[in-house]
Amino acid sequence: MRTDIVSSLGVPVFIFIFLCSVINAIEIDEVLENIQKKENGISDLKVKIIQRIEFKEVDEKHTIRSEVTFKKPDKILLIQQDPESKTIVSDGKKLFIYSPLTKQVFVETWKNWKGISYIIPGIFNPEGRIQDLKKNYVFELLNEEKDAYVILLKPKRTKKIVLRTKKHLPERFEFNMWISREDFLPVKSKFISQTVVCITELTDWQVNLEPPDELFRFKIPADVEVLRLE
Q: What is the mean pLDDT of residues 155-159?
A: 62
Residue with the bigger pLDDT between 10 and 196: it is 196
Residue with the bigger pLDDT between 16 and 7: it is 7
Full DSSP string of 59-79? TEEEEEEEEEEEETTTEEEEE
Distance CA 185, CA 208 (A): 14
Q: Identify the H or E element spanning 178.
A: strand 173-180
User: Residue 14: which pLDDT band, with cuts at 50, 70 and 90?
Assistant: very low
Mean model confidence pLDDT for the chain = 78
| Cβ atoms of residues 120 and 10 within 8 Å | yes
User: Residue 146: which pLDDT band, with cuts at 50, 70 and 90?
Assistant: very high
Residue-wise pLDDT for 80-105, tens only, equals 999 999 999 999 889 999 999 999 99
Over pLDDT 90: what percentage of the chain?
47
49 pLDDT exceeds 50?
Answer: yes
Report the pLDDT value the prediction gives residue 227, as an integer from 0 to 100: 94
| DSSP structure class, residue 170 | P
Distance CA 7, CA 161 (A): 20
Report the pLDDT value the prediction gives residue 129, as an integer from 0 to 100: 61
Strands 60-71 and 44-55: antiparallel
- 38-52, 112-126, 168-182: segment of lowest average pLDDT: 112-126
For the chain, domain boundaries:
2-225
Strands 75-82 and 186-193: unpaired
Residue-wise pLDDT for 121-136, tens only, equals 444 444 446 666 777 7
| Cβ atoms of residues 53 and 3 within 8 Å | yes
18 pLDDT exceeds 60?
Answer: no
3 pLDDT exceeds 80?
Answer: no
Report the pLDDT value the prediction gives residue 135, as an integer from 0 to 100: 72
160 pLDDT exceeds 60?
Answer: no
Q: What is the mean pLDDT of residues 181-185?
A: 93
Distance CA 156, CA 214 (A): 41
What's the first-to-final CA gap in the chain, in angstroms?
19
Contacts 24+ apart (CB under 8 A), 123-130: 123/35, 123/38, 123/39, 123/42, 123/45, 123/185, 123/186, 124/70, 125/10, 125/11, 125/12, 126/10, 126/11, 126/163, 126/164, 126/165, 127/163, 127/164, 129/36, 129/39, 130/32, 130/35, 130/36, 130/39
Domain 2-225: assigned CATH number: 2.50.20.10
